[in-house]
Chains A and B, each alone.
Chain A
Amino acid sequence: MRKSVTAAALAAVLAVGSLQAARAETLLVSSWGGSWQEMIAKTIGKKFTETTGAKVEFVTGGTIDRLNKAKLAAGDPETDITLTTSHVGWLYQSSGLFETLDYARIPNAAKIFPEARISPGHVGVWSYVYTIGYRKDLLPEGLTFDSWEDLWSPKMKGLLGLPDFDPSHIIAVSAILSGADPQHWEKGQDKLLALKPSIKAFYTNDASSQQMMSSGETPVQILLSGNAFYQMGQGVDLALVIPKEGAVIGIDAIGIMKGTKKSELAYKFIDAAFDPEVQAEIASFKKLGPMVEGAPVDPAIARLPGVFTTAEQWKEQAIVIDHKLRAEKLGEWKQWFTEHMIAQ
């Protein structure tokens, strides 16, 4: 009797111990939900679990919702890792929410593009572009988009849709076309004001961008490359172009939350993210650009506009707005844009 009681107690202790060990081996990752979560789980998460045996659990939400939650939990983070947009990542960084990354602990990061190093605390993990997309069947005759300048063509009157949540893209382009840069964006203000006749409406999110494009309400848009590829897959007669000045790059980034007790696992997760095979899988999954040079991306994906796989493409086709500048200026840009472009 005593033996069986002892054995049962031992089994219970072992069970509790193994349960705690399993719990200790779960990495909490903050990311967007839906197809983004699915992609991260099936690419980075899969590789991470294969390598470490640890599991991944997601805490999902919108970009700003997660930022607010992280701020409230500062010092005792809800998650170990956060994936967010690069300029929003700067808000994490400037609020002291990210650990400083030690690249010696991320061997796969040896071949990342220089543009991936966004701040001491966050590193770009995939890229996309905001560029000109248009409905081939609804474009006025003779209108082409070799240059961003073509958006100002009189033929563009009442055709253009722009994102209302982020004017960075058109502000950067207007500054460049005016001989300046995003830092000195004021020089492009007259150019921006001259664009108003072309603008039909502003879209709120990816879904309304797709709705306005597919319904033909705004047959030309500055839009996210992934949105354009998705609509092409749905049969919308859509073309995406990279103008001669380049397309505006967006980068989603990853950082380790300050105060995490699973720093070792967090580094392994980031290392899994930069595994060349994983980078190629990410590119295939959502038609995103890898951040590691030499990732074996499917040639059909690599040929798509805005999927940059070489350093030359980054140099020749990418307009990179400094992410810190973007985080600092977005409020000012947005206010000016709302007052002078949207509400006028």
Chain B
Amino acid sequence: MIDQSYLRRFLLPALLLAAVYACALAAIVQYAFRTFVPGSLEVGPPTLHNLARLVDPLYARVFGDSLLIGLYTAAATLLVGYPLAYALVRTPSRALRSALFVVAITPLFTGEIVRTYAWLNVLGANGFINRILLWSGLIGQPLELMFTTLGVCIALVHFSLPVMVMILAAALAHVDPRYERAAATLGAGPLRRFALITLPLSMPGVVSGFVTIFAWTLSAFATPQLIGGGRVTMISNLVYQLGFASFNFPFAAALSLAAILLTVLLLALLRWSQARVDRMAVHA
């Protein structure tokens, strides 16, 4: 039996970081239960008012909108990312694989703000998409892409795509191509092979990628802030508005707390669904 007690030392940095995060979280929690005092940095006596306000239709709607944008983005990223990940794993040419890999992960090398500003130039009334569509005669008036949920989702898909592709590629790499070749020799066409073999066996990656992007998108800030133009508001934008524009730190903390709890719930859902899919994949 090898003594691995020395490995515990490697946990120390993680434990220290966890302690720092726990302190920050504790500060947020205590703010969430304090009264907002207008015109002051000080907070007032304990209250449940901030939590009660979370059920206000306006704030509940922002949570609902954030969940919907997360769902749209995760679904669209999956649809765009799956073929790219499949090509990345199955392309026989090493050069082409490398090229696809670079294309897939390049967005990670530019910051979120830079990428979002680039999208402002693409989605605007005089942006790239509208100019092309107007020039081609497909539309007579510019499409409304800026300050819309569609525009925000398009930019978020671009932002999320590299992560989705990497998760899917890892899952697809574990699907043995011999299963598909065996099915082909038995007469299964490409669509049938994909539907009955590749897709079910890659489901752990699909579920993992979908939930990761969904949870990631829930905390999106710069993209909805800049492309939403105040017309599309997500949870982080609301927290920013309340904390940094109104100085209402208690309510901003209550919203943050609710968002954290929602994320924890989603991660629990991820573990649960992942376990189910893994069992299905084993039985498949």
In the bound complex, CA of A328 to CA of B233 (Å)? 25
Contact of B247 among A161, A216, A330, A343 (CB under 8 A): A330
Tell whether, in the assembled complex, residue A217 and residue B124 are in contact, meaning their CB atoms are under 8 Å apart: yes
CB-CB contacts below 8 Å: B60-109 with A:
61-62
Chain A residues closer than 8 Å to B179, beta-carbon distance: none
Stretch in B9-17, B34-42, B189-197 touching the partner? B34-42
How many residues belonging to A are interface residues under a CB distance threshold of 8 Å?
Answer: 35
A residues near B242, Cβ cutoff 8 Å: 334-335
Closest to A207 in B: B117
Q: Are B245 and A95 in contact (CB under 8 A)?
A: no
Closest to B117 in A: A211
Closest to B229 in A: A201
Is there an interface contact between B229 and A327, defined as CB atoms closer than 8 Å?
Answer: no
Let me know if B226 and A95 touch, CB within 8 A: no
A selection of 15 A-B contacts at a CB cut-off of 8 Å is A64-B247, A90-B39, A94-B40, A200-B229, A201-B146, A202-B231, A211-B117, A215-B124, A215-B127, A217-B125, A217-B146, A330-B247, A331-B248, A334-B248, A338-B58
- Check A95–B120 contact: CB distance below 8 A: no
B217 within 8 A of A: no
Contact residues in A for B42 (Cβ distance below 8 Å):
95
Contact status B41-A202, CB under 8 Å: no
CA distance A215 to B117 in the complex (A): 12
Please report whether the interface of chain B is mostly helix, strand, loop or mixed according to DSSP.
Answer: loop
Q: Establish whether residues A331 and B36, one from each chain, have CB atoms under 8 Å apart when the complex forms.
A: yes
Residues of B within 8 A of A117 (CB): none
Complex contact B246–A330 (CB within 8 A): yes
Complex contact A94–B241 (CB within 8 A): no
B-side residues, CB < 8 A to A, are 36, 38-42, 58, 61-62, 117, 120-121, 124-127, 146-147, 225-226, 229-231, 233, 238, 241-248
Report the 5 A-B pairs with minimum CB-CB distance, sorted nearest first.
A202-B230, A328-B39, A201-B229, A334-B246, A331-B246
Q: With A211-B120, A215-B124, A332-B38 given, is the CB distance from A166 to B245 under 8 Å?
A: yes
Chain B residues near A200: list those with CB within 8 A: 147, 229
Query: Which single residue of chain A is at the shortest CB-CB distance from B247?
Result: A331
> In the bound complex, how far is the Cα of B242 from the Cα of A342, in angstroms?
13
**Residue A203 is within 8 A (CB to CB) of chain B in the complex:** yes
With A217-B125, A342-B233, A343-B58 known as contacts, the answer to whether A91 contacts B39 (CB < 8 A) is: yes
Chain A, residue nearest B238 (CB): A338
Closest to A333 in B: B246
**Cross-chain contact B38 with A328 (CB below 8 angstroms):** yes
Name 14 extra pairs, CB < 8 A, besides A217-B146, A331-B38, A342-B233.
A64-B247, A71-B41, A90-B39, A200-B229, A208-B229, A215-B124, A215-B126, A216-B126, A324-B39, A329-B38, A330-B247, A334-B246, A338-B58, A343-B61
**Known contacts A165-B245, A339-B58, A203 near B39 by CB under 8 Å:** no
Residues in B with CB closer than 8 Å to A216 are 124-126
Complex partner residue of A215 from B125, B226, B238, B245, CB under 8 angstroms: B125
Q: List, in ascending order, chain B residues with CB within 8 A of A211's CB.
A: 117, 120
Q: Assess whether A330 is in contact with B245, with CB atoms less than 8 Å apart.
A: yes
Instruction: Decide yes or no: A342 and B40 within 8 Å by CB, A164-B241, A165-B241, A330-B245 being known contacts.
Output: no
With A94-B39, A331-B248: A202-B124 Cβ-Cβ less than 8 Å: no
Q: Shortest beta-carbon distance, A51 to chain B, in Å?
A: 34
* Distance from A180 Cβ to chain B, minimum over Cβ atoms (Å): 19
A203 surroundings in chain B (CB, below 8 A): 229-230
Chain B residue with Cβ nearest A218 = B229
B125 touches A201 (CB 8 A): no
Q: Which residues of A68-103 are within 8 A (CB) of B?
A: 71, 90-91, 94-95
Residues on A with C-beta less than 8 A from B245 are: 164-166, 330, 334
Which A residues lie within 8 Å of B121 (CB)? 215
Given A330-B246, A338-B241, decide whether A95 and B41 contact each other with a Cβ distance below 8 A.
yes
Shortest beta-carbon distance from B90 to chain A in Å: 41
A335-B246 in contact (CB<8A): yes
* B-side contacts of A95, CB under 8 Å: 40-42
Give Cα distance in the complex from A82 to B275, angstroms: 55
B230 and A164 contacting across the interface, CB-CB below 8 Å: yes
A204 on interface, CB distance cutoff 8 Å: yes
A40 within 8 A of B: no
| A212 interface contact, C-beta 8 A | yes
Min C-beta distance of B229 to chain A, whole Å: 3
Q: Is A118 an interface position by the 8 A CB rule?
A: no
A338 CA to B225 CA, complexed, in Å = 14
Q: Specify which chain A residues have a CB less than 8 angstroms from the CB of B238 in the assembled complex.
A: 338
A335 x B248 contact (CB < 8 A): yes
Shortest A255–chain B CB gap in Å is 15
Decide: B126 and A343 in contact? CB cutoff 8 A: no
Once A202-B231, A203-B229 are accepted as A-B contacts, the answer to whether A64 and B39 lie under 8 Å apart by CB is no
Whether, in the assembled complex, A283 has its beta carbon less than 8 Å from a beta carbon of chain B, the answer is no
Q: Which residues on A sit within 8 Å (CB–CB) of B231?
A: 201-202, 342
Which residues of A are found within 8 Å of B226, using beta-carbon distances?
A: 204, 208
CB distance from A265 to the nearest CB of B (A): 27
Contacts of A28 in B (CB 8 A): none
CA distance A332 to B248 in the complex (A): 9
Contacts of A339 in B (CB 8 A): 58
Distance between Cα atoms of A296 and B126 in the complex (Å): 43
Q: How far, in Å, is A332 (CB) from chain B's closest CB?
A: 6
A183–B99 alpha-carbon span in the complex (Å): 62
Interchain CA distance A67-B247 in the complex, whole Å: 11
A108 to nearest B CB, angstroms?
A: 30
Closest to B53 in A: A335
Task: Give chain A interface residues in 148-176, CB to chain B under 8 Å.
Answer: 161, 164-166
28-71 of chain A: CB within 8 A of chain B: 64, 67, 71
Residues on A with beta carbons closer than 8 Å to the beta carbon of B246: 330-331, 334-335
